[in-house]
Every structure is written in structure tokens, then in C-alpha cells.
Structure 1
Amino acid sequence: MAACIFVVEDNEDLNRDLCEYLEICGFDVVGCETGQQFHRALDDLTPNAVIFDVMLPDADGFDLARFTRNKLDCGIMMLTSLSGMDQHLAGYQAGADVYLTKDSPLSVIEAALRPLLRRVSTNAVETTGESVVENSNDCWTLDRLNWTLTSPQGGNAVLTAGERTIISVLIEANGGWLTRPDIVSALGKADTAENCRNLDTAIRRVRQKISKDIGDELPVRTAYGRGYAFASPAVIVGDEPEAEAVAAKARSNA
């Protein structure tokens, strides 16, 4: 299950850009532009982490951070234009785990989120006494002849031609990272900025499809500067010459 991130930011453009970027990175994201929207969202979901702006139209982000620290067991990041030392201290005193300014690159925001989420997850396991056991039999299956992807739990989704190729080359990489140009080339397209952006959109859409049709998270991970990787055990059945040729081309480019 993907980590759930709340983005509480009243700047519409920044809110949208941050939500879209974090979705591409594999998170479930809820965008809120006011404190009231944040409280309403809590009625339906419990976040694993919240990113707060400080100056909201109807609330103070520091107050929301204090509320969150007292009521929820989740990570808290302050993302604000307030860069003074006093504001930094106020953020940490309010319960923030991380304090970043809005000029931070999206990649830095993601990089700060991941260890924060790991700490939250570790604390939850220690608190409940649960143990995490990996099932070595968990395996995704791509059927290239029937154009289906099946989860370890048995749910399946029908893929488009482009989605089949993307998933195929990622699985063939055996957990290795493929850059955007690698995958774009496997799709038979030129390595252009537009095609790379279209690839990001296609992967976001197939993630949404798998979540909707199967009810599970597609284990495709994203890393800034590295590209994409299929992060779970997987097998391919129904090989055909064309699909194998595409996968071989991607491997040679990796």
C-alpha cells in the first residue's frame, strides 16, 4: 500500500505541482488548500505524512502541526517561504520533523519525505509489536500475449500496448533502474523532453489503473536522476518475438 501524503498549501500552482510530482513518485496524495479542507480530509483518510504551509488563508500551519502531532502518528514537514531562524525553531517546536523552504527542488522534498516515512513506519511496528515478514512467493505476472498484469493476490488488469511495453521492459531489467530515455526508446519514440513527460504521465495512469482495477499498488518506483524500476518479483509469460525484441533493446540501452 502506497504511503498517503497530505499537501496543505494554498498556492494553487505549487499545490498541483507537488501533488503531481509525489504521485509520480508512487505516493497517494491528497491536496488541501485550507485548514478546513485538511480537517475534512481527515474524516476519510489517515495520512502517513503531512506537508504544511505556514501562512494559510484560514489557519496557521504551526497550529495545524501541533494538532497533528497531538492527534496523529504521522510525519510532519513544514514547507514555507519563512526562512528565518525563529520560524525554523517555531516549526520544530510545533512538532515538525522536517522544515524546508519553498525554493527547495521537488526532488529534495521527496528525498526528505522518504526517511521520514521510514521512521514513522518503524515506530508503528515497534509500538504495535507487529513483525514484517516478506513472502518470497509474492510475484507479479505479465502476460504479453493476453496483455494482462496479475498481482500476487490474483487480481488482474488489461493493459494497453504502451503500458504492456513499459511494464515489460521494467520487469526485464530485473529490479535495475531504467532511465526515461531507455523506456522512451523501447516505445519506439525519440528521446525528447515532451516524450519523457508523456512517459511520466503514462506511468502515473497505469498506476491509477492498477490501483482501481486490482486494488493494489503497482510496484514501480521512481528516483530523481535514475528513472524507474520494478521493485517486486515478477515473471513474464506468453513471450512473443516482438515483445522480446523490445525488451532486448531496452536492456542493451540500460
Structure 2
Amino acid sequence: MAAPAIVVVEDENSLRSDMVEYLRNCGFEAMGARTGAELDELLTNRPASVIILDVNLPDEDGFKIAARLRDTHGVGIIMVTARSSSVDRIVGLEIGADAYLIKPVELRELEAQVKSLLRRLSERAAEAPSALAPSSELSGGESNDEGRWTLDSTEWALTSPTGVRIGLTSMEMKLTGLLAGQARKPATRDQISQALYSRRWNPEDRSIDTVVGRLRHKVEASIGAAAPLKSVHGVGYVFSAPIRVLGGQVG
């Protein structure tokens, strides 16, 4: 079995070399990159399991790289930075980073974080097919509507399987329409931002979470149960129940 591939993205040469050498001695296939561009080049040739990412890089902000990786690669991300601010740490974790280490980095702690993250990624991969796989109701052909939600794009309403009708705002309609079209697969934050605001997602912008939170609260208050609107760590959101759209495409 091949060793997990780890990429250390750090512009400080000595620190990058130390981390790469240490991780190789731990049995990992470790590689180094100085910039975001070098990271992209590495990933085109060799998929990685974990990215160890410095926040302050010469060509691209580490937070932006982390957000981009979450949209395009299913990797674990460990942020490494000299910034000790809780705000920076929270931003990193909200973007989808799995861990956040402060320099100077203790190499044994880094090793422990990498091993712990690899275990979580393995567990997450094992759970994903059953949690997100489309049901037979969504795979085409005749289907039974029992247990299915309905989104009416002409009436701007979401109806629960028990018949509870919930009126939606314009933003809530766009969000639900996007998630309905994903066939119970998660939509990334960037996809949601494009659908709602016609712009790329900004990691510091909490407007998506506000819309999601408002919709979730409205649904739960109406049906008296948990809404099938779930957060997928490091990715975005998913409507986890079967849903059909009436009245044509939402947009």
C-alpha cells in the first residue's frame, strides 16, 4: 500500500525542509512547495492526502488557497502560521481547515495532527457513500413520492412529506433550488455564492451561513423536527432528503 502523500506549502526554506524530512522519516511521501503555484503544479501530477499550508505565502493568501482546495480537492488541510489571533484561527477553520498550528511548530505535534487527520479522512470516506448516495427515487424511472419534499418554483414554497407548506424568500428559493438540483450531493460554498450573489465565495463573508440558518430555522419551526439541510464539513451544504422541483428550473 502506497504511503499517504503530504505536501508542505511553506516559503521559509529551512522550515519547509525540516518538515518534509521529518514526515518522510515518519513513513509519509512528503513533498515541498514554496508557493500556491508550485502546489498546483504538484497536485496536477500527484494527488495528495493532506496539505500543510502556511497562511503567509508570497503569491497567494493561504486562506484563499484553502478555500480553493476545498472546492476542487478532497484533501485534509492543516494551516500553519505565526498568527496567533483567534480570529485568524476561526477563519481558517470556517474555510474548511481541519487543524490549525501556531509557529514555531513542534514536529511531533505535526506528526500527531497528520496521523489523526488521516484517520478522520478515512472514516469520512467510508461514511460518505451511504450518507450522500442518491436513493432509487432520484435515479430515474417511476418512483414513489412517499417521504419526498416538494419545491414549487412558481409559488416559492417548500412542502414537507407530511404536507406542511413553507413559504420562501427569493434567497431561500435560490438556495433550495440549487441544493435540490444536486441530487443529495453537497453544493460547495462557491457554488452557493454564485447562485445567490453571482460572485465567488469570500471566506470572510458570512451571508451564506445567515441565509442557511434562517431557512433551517424556518423549516424546523414549521415541521417541529430537524430540517434535512445539513452542513458538510469543508465543503458546503446538502439537502439530505429526496426532493422534487415543480414549475421548472429555479433561477
Per the normalisation by structure 2, the TM-score is 0.50
Per the normalisation by structure 1, the TM-score is 0.49
